[in-house]
Structure 1
Amino acid sequence: MDKIPRSLASEDPDKSSLIGEVVRSPTSWKRNLAVLWIAQVFTVAGFSFSFPFIPFFVQELGIKGEGQASLWAGLVQASMGLAMVATSPVWGLVADRYGRKINMLRASFGGAIFIFLSAFSSNVYQLMFFRFFTGVFSGTFGPAMALVAAVCPRNKLPFAMGILQSAFFTGTTIGPLFGGLIADAWGFQGAFLGTAVLLGIAGVIVMLFVREDFHPPANLSVFQRHAYVNLFHLLTSRELVPVLGTFFVVQFAPVISFVVLPIVIASIATSNIGSVTGIAFGVTGLAGGLSSYGAGMLTKRVRMTRILTVACVGMSIVIFPLFFVREMWLVYLFLACGGVFQGAMLSMGGGLVGLAVPSEVQGAAFGALQSVTVSAFTLAPLTGGGIASQFGPRWVFPAQSVCLLGAALLAKILLAARVGKQAEVPRDAPKVEDNTESGCSS
């Protein structure tokens, strides 16, 4: 990479001590992938317990009106997102210094504590305060992707990232379904408490079963002195900027409707709003999980940039009709179709980033990807809430469709032209057996 300092390149033996290294061992890399997949399912399911119901929780805390509830739900999410945007690259540097596993433990247990506290908020300002610190201390997907990328054979990386991304959609399938049942039975506070419990379980799984033999930098003082300079060079590198820029839009577009979808569903459904909303999000997650797994397999034959472009166009087409529908079965149908394309879209991000940077700085790179993701998750609800408050909730869906077409255009022009060929796995890459030196030992 042209702007990444040579101190970050493993081929420079005199300076490689500045970056921590995950030592590869005969242990199967698939073991860590499987354990991290399970942990991520618990984590995402936990957040999905409460995320779809934030607009309703905001209304319980005294905010009246659909438009205002959507706007405040966006602001609450933004408080968490802004904190995560600012801290994710820093946590990525911590991972490169102290190891990816301990970084995941920080995210799991830190998130559990502040989600637990947010359940006892008495007004929206307290809720926003606790969500902010949830953003500071949570965020497991970046560390999980960095750990997988550090131990996975390079020619298996797109497949591994597709599998890991499927955990996101599996969690978003399970979480809203059970979260909706809990919300109907014990209120929306119960959904937040369920989130805290599941994040704690995920942390225990990582602590007990993830194996990492991490060697920290030998020269800590030099590492600390150059850490932020190296991070700046990484984030402005020619290889990484197009990927991060494109994936900001890719992540932004699907999330615009998140804060208004529960409001739209409430205007259609007549009873059991929590369960019906949970099913709607669960249908999307189920379709996305199956799709992300299939997209990971498809990267063996089709370029990732092409998969990304087609998926963006497809989701744009199937989301637009939600502006018109007045029946729940049609809502489920179009959300399921959108989930298929969304799963393919999001599963490409980790693979493109992992192949664009040296393994020694993947902690910081995936921290940057997480910042981009959270930036999208921060601005998209605000955008959706603003559109809903000005024009009505349903006008968010046409705006979402236009954004998806913009994402397809960026993927086609920016990624395919600048990093498409460099970020593809060679078709003639040698196969790596399960027992090769590609795992982590304890």
Structure 2
Amino acid sequence: MGFVTNVWELFALRALQGAFGGYVSNSNALVAAQTPREHSGHSLSILVTGITAGNLLGPLLGGFLADAFSYRISFHITGVIMLIVCLLTYFLVHEKPNVQTQPSGKQKESLTFKDIRSNKVILLLITTTMLVQVVTMSINPILSLFVKELTTPGQSVTMMAGLVAAMPGISTVLAAPFFGRLGDKIGTHKLLIFGFVFAMIVFALTSFVKNVYILMFFRLLTGVSDAAILPSVQTLLTKNTAPENTSIVFSYNQSFQSLGNMFGPLLGSAIATIFDYRQIFLFCSLIMVINFVSFTRSKLAKAY
């Protein structure tokens, strides 16, 4: 990307990058498959912590590289970082073989999307992932504008918006390992229900904030709900998927997450245009209510 000469070449390379963007889903699948299932919640929460920390540090590092060098050099440095990740993964991450076979000796065929649709448990969980991302991303387009509305003269809108945006990630990094251990002890389904209820309350209250510091506090609490929900969904996917299908199921989960990343900003912008910024938080609370009702009425919740 650092050598492109026009925007279309950059567009094509970004698309190619997305096509090979399976590292996260496969790392989730690898951790899920290689970890004893009674400890999967804690292990996956640690992985979520690393991903969230990367999402927090990435924009900061990118901004620093662009200022210190240039846009093109930033792409070169990013490529070197990815090469290091490749080498570390290849030489230091060891996978124990776990191939399930049929009685005839033939390897079991991988799941198709038709199989996913017919499996109500997996479909519910990956749909939950999508809706959580819709909620997360729907707020992004209006966050800076909402912060500007709440700030008083003399406050830096840019700095305040950056702090508000960072709050969920900070609390997720701090809370995810604790929730992972807690879920392994009390039951992942209970932790997921708590995350839904906590999120719907926090989003509803966020719509009434009057200053940027209260907004910052509620965004911090939003990260706590994320720390409870995201690892719980992945843990339940692990527990309800045959070992030989773990990778493909987590790949579908990442695809649904990407759909949420796409639809979230579109819905958020539409709601802000038709109504106002505060209604987006009520919309997010409604999505969490739908998640909560769907999960509590499902066979999955009754099975635990």
Report deviation, 1:360.
1.0
Report deviation, 1:319.
2.6
Letter in 1 for 2:300: V
Letter in 2 for 1:367: S
Letter in 2 for 1:265: V
1:148 aligns with 31
1:106 aligns with none
Of 315-324 and 368-377, deviating more is 315-324
1:60-99 → structure 2 map (5 Å cutoff): none
1:295 aligns with 179
1:32-431 → structure 2 map (5 Å cutoff): 116=1, 129-179=12-62, 198-214=81-97, 227=110, 230=112, 232-266=114-148, 271=156, 273=158, 275-325=159-209, 327-414=211-298, 418-420=299-301, 422=303
The CA distance in 1 between the partners of 2:255 and 2:42, in whole Å, is 23
Report deviation, 1:138.
0.9
Task: Tell me if the contact between 1:239 and 1:357 (Cα under 8 Å) persists in the aligned partners.
Answer: no
Report deviation, 1:399.
1.4
Report deviation, 1:209.
1.4
Of 139-148 and 192-201, deviating more is 192-201
The CA distance in 2 between the partners of 1:390 and 1:239, in whole Å, is 35
Report deviation, 1:131.
3.9
CA deviation digits over 1:111-164, x for unaligned, max 9?
xxxxx46x96966x7765554333211132210111112211122222212222
Distance 1:322 1:204, change over 3 A: farther
CA deviation digits over 1:26-66, x for unaligned, max 9?
xxxxxxxxxxxxxxxxxxxxxxxxxxxxxxxxxxxxxxxxx
The CA distance in 2 between the partners of 1:332 and 1:264, in whole Å, is 12
1:437 aligns with none
The CA distance in 2 between the partners of 1:191 and 1:384, in whole Å, is 30
1:68 aligns with none
The CA distance in 2 between the partners of 1:326 and 1:287, in whole Å, is 22
The CA distance in 2 between the partners of 1:209 and 1:159, in whole Å, is 21
The CA distance in 1 between the partners of 2:196 and 2:98, in whole Å, is 40
Structure 1, unaligned stretches of length 5 or more?
1-115, 425-442
Identity %: 22
Report deviation, 1:358.
1.0
1:3 aligns with none
Distance 1:286 1:391, change over 3 A: same
Task: Tell me if the contact between 2:98 and 2:243 (Cα under 8 Å) persists in the aligned partners.
Answer: no
Task: Tell me if the contact between 2:193 and 2:292 (Cα under 8 Å) persists in the aligned partners.
Answer: yes
Distance 1:396 1:190, change over 3 A: farther
Report deviation, 1:172.
3.0
CA deviation digits over 1:290-316, x for unaligned, max 9?
221111111133222221122122122
Distance 1:277 1:251, change over 3 A: same
Report deviation, 1:324.
4.5
Does the residue aligned with 2:140 lie in a helix, a strand or coil? coil
Does the residue aligned with 2:247 lie in a helix, a strand or coil? helix
Normalising by the residue count of structure 2, what TM-score does the alignment of the two structures yield? 0.81
Distance 1:189 1:142, change over 3 A: same
Aligned length: 298
Letter in 1 for 2:57: I
The CA distance in 2 between the partners of 1:271 and 1:122, in whole Å, is 35
